[in-house]
């Protein structure tokens, strides 16, 4: 009897936690956007060689921050926290302007903003990740970061109902998908990064205008690997250094392994919006393959450094 009451109490608390975070998620997203709009009023001035690393949450943001810093610094580990050298611009305000201005070019910034909200006049690296993998990774993030007490099924419902930080995955991805071929946008997938990390470093270096020393590439690849980054756990999020793993597995396919058929089906409608648009934009199927988790080959020539900026204010 007591065990049943305990189980019932835990279930009720889980449902209550899901409801609270379901309400707070959209409010948090709105406040972040309003704060960013206010910050723009203080005239954050972008430079033509600035690079914004943009993703929907849990899509390889920290990984790409490390890649960017390793390329810029030539492999330096002389940083206390990754956001000291690649700031999270969405959380910056007027008081941060002197620090941001003092950063050497090319400056790299992290952001979770949709295309229409990022400041114009720069370059943009967008990383997309399979929604099912995002769901599982984001769930563990919520357990650690947000004190979420619900189950995976409750979190998936929050995600599809856009009650998480970042809002709609489909809306976010679609806003960038439309600009994937712009010369100031480098559109990558998480799977591409995992399958060809050396190639990813080369592409990011070319796009960012950084001269890559091929002799140092093996070192940079090692230091951008998940195993190495786990050793520097506290430098990516000190709040989790005693509670769990911020740098988890860096794997693809978690969604298929951890989500049952019912939960996968709940995510399908959200995912299908993006896949349908991908078929319209690219009838060859290569873009759809990339979004599903495939990594189509790239020509050896790679992307040229953009000569003009397509995003204007």
CATH of the domain at 253: 3.40.50.300
In a domain, 309, yes or no: no
In a domain, 297, yes or no: no
In a domain, 301, yes or no: no
Q: Rounded to whole angstroms, how far apart are CA atoms 204 and 211?
A: 11
Q: What is the mean pLDDT of the chain?
A: 83
Q: Give the 3-state secondary structure of residue 165.
A: coil
Range of the domain at 55: 2-292
- Residue 111's pLDDT band, with cuts at 50, 70 and 90, is very high
pLDDT at 248: 45
- Residue 60's pLDDT band, with cuts at 50, 70 and 90, is very high
- Which token pair is 207? 């796009």
pLDDT at 292: 85
Q: Give the 3-state secondary structure of residue 111.
A: strand
Q: Rounded to whole angstroms, how far apart are CA atoms 111 and 193?
A: 18
Q: Enumerate the active-site residues.
A: 112
Asked if pLDDT for residue 234 goes beyond 60, the answer is yes
Asked if pLDDT for residue 277 goes beyond 90, the answer is yes
Sheet of 108-111, strand order: 108-111, 51-55, 123-128, 185-189
**Mean pLDDT, rounded, for 156-165:** 89
pTM of model > 0.85:
no
pLDDT at 251: 60
Domains: count for the chain: 1
């Amino acid at each position: 009897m007591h065990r049943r009451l305990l189980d019932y109490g835990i279930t009720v608390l889980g449902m209550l936690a899901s409801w609270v975070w379901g309400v707070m998620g959209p409010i948090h997203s709105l406040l972040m956007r309003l704060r960013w709009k206010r910050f723009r009023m203080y005239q954050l001035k972008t430079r033509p060689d600035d690079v914004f690393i943009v993703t929907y949450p849990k899509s390889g943001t920290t990984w790409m921050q490390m890649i960017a810093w390793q390329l810029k610094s030539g492999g330096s580990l002389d940083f206390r926290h990754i956001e000291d050298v690649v700031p999270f611009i969405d959380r910056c305000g007027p008081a941060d302007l002197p620090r941001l201005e003092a950063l050497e070019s090319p400056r790299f910034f992290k952001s979770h903003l949709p295309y229409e909200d990022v400041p114009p006049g720069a370059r943009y690296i967008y990383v997309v990740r399979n929604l099912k993998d995002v769901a599982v990774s984001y769930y563990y993030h919520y357990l650690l970061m947000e004190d979420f007490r619900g189950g995976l099924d409750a979190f998936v419902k929050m995600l599809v109902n856009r009650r998480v930080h970042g809002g709609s995955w489909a809306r976010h991805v679609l806003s960038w998908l439309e600009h994937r071929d712009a010369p100031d946008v480098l559109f990558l997938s998480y799977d591409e990064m995992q399958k060809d990390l050396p190639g990813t470093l080369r592409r990011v270096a070319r796009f960012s205008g950084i001269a890559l020393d091929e002799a140092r590439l093996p070192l940079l690849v090692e230091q951008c690997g998940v195993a190495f980054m786990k050793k520097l756990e506290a430098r990516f999020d000190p709040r989790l250094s005693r509670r769990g793993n911020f740098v988890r597995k860096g794997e693809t396919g978690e969604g298929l392994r951890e989500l049952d058929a019912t939960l996968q089906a709940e995510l399908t409608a959200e995912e299908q919006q993006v896949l349908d648009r991908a078929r319209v934009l690219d009838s060859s199927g290569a873009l759809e393959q990339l979004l599903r988790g495939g990594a189509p080959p790239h020509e050896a020539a790679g992307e040229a450094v953009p000569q003009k900026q397509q995003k204007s204010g």
